Amino acid sequence: MEFNIHRKYKGKLKFAILDWAGTTVDYGSFAPTAVFFELFASRGVHITAEQARAPMGLMKKDHLRAIAFNPDVTKKWIEVYGSPITDKDIDCMFDEFVPMQTKCLKEYAAVIPGVPQAIKEFRRSGMKIGSTTGYTRDMMEVLVPTARENGYSPDSWVSATDVPTGRPAPWMIYQNAINMQVFPMEAGVKIGDTLVDIQEGLNAGMWTIGLTVTGNMFGLTQDQVKNLSKAELSERRRVASEKMYEAGAHYVVDSMADCPVIIEEINYRLKRGESPRE
């Protein structure tokens, strides 16, 4: 005997899962990048901004490994050491990375403009706020209270080391849902500034919103963004948006400040019986 049961959720969004660096704090997502630059330079291997930023959003050890095994970085490493980087090298570098990253997090914990207002609108519509990150729990125990002092505090946060594997796996999102006691997953939206944020949200069965200007896709300070010409701003936005949509994002906007209106549109689509999987 076979059954085909198809249910559709037609209620409003119940929760949002937000990224941290580049989404809610640390405009331009500079904290991880700065440390990776320093870490590789200390070993005589100089990496580019693109190489440092390409794996952004992954658990930080996975991020480190992805940089190290970039073909161009591997070539530079061999030129310096005469042999490819090993897992032992990665372990040693990560052991050094953790205190370096933890030490500088307070410097990069300023809340991105528009975030408090967006959060206020989310809560006004009855949504709970969870968060995921590529940072470890030790790092988050520094960042979370500092962000709270600066005006941002989610209802739940889960780090990459709290679950079996980090992004793009959905485990951090599921743990947030458990913490906040919310379901179904189509009643949630994942918002982030990296491609793996989008993949994480899709793997969890959620709506997804990609952010371009404030995060890793631009990789610029707020002042640098303001000083861009209209043509350059438009081109950067076009390139970043294309990458986000190619990753599967349902929507792409500049920043968290643009998200409340998107929440209204998703609620309308849910009421019509639409699903993020369609």
Which one of the listed residues 14, 26, 60, 258 is annotated catalytic?
60
User: How big is the CA angle at 109 (ends 105 and 113), to the nearest 5 degrees?
Assistant: 155
Tokens linked to 217? 């896709």
Q: What is the DSSP string of 12-68?
A: ---EEEE-SBTTTBSTT--HHHHHHHHHHHTTT----HHHHHTTTTS-HHHHHHHHH
Distance CA 201, CA 209 (A): 9
Is 75 part of the annotated catalytic residue set? no
Catalytic annotation present for 138: no
Catalytic residue among 14, 19, 26, 197: 19
Q: Please answer whether residues 221 and 27 qualify as being in contact, where contact means their C-beta atoms are separated by less than 8 angstroms.
A: yes
Instruction: List residues with catalytic annotation.
Output: 19, 60
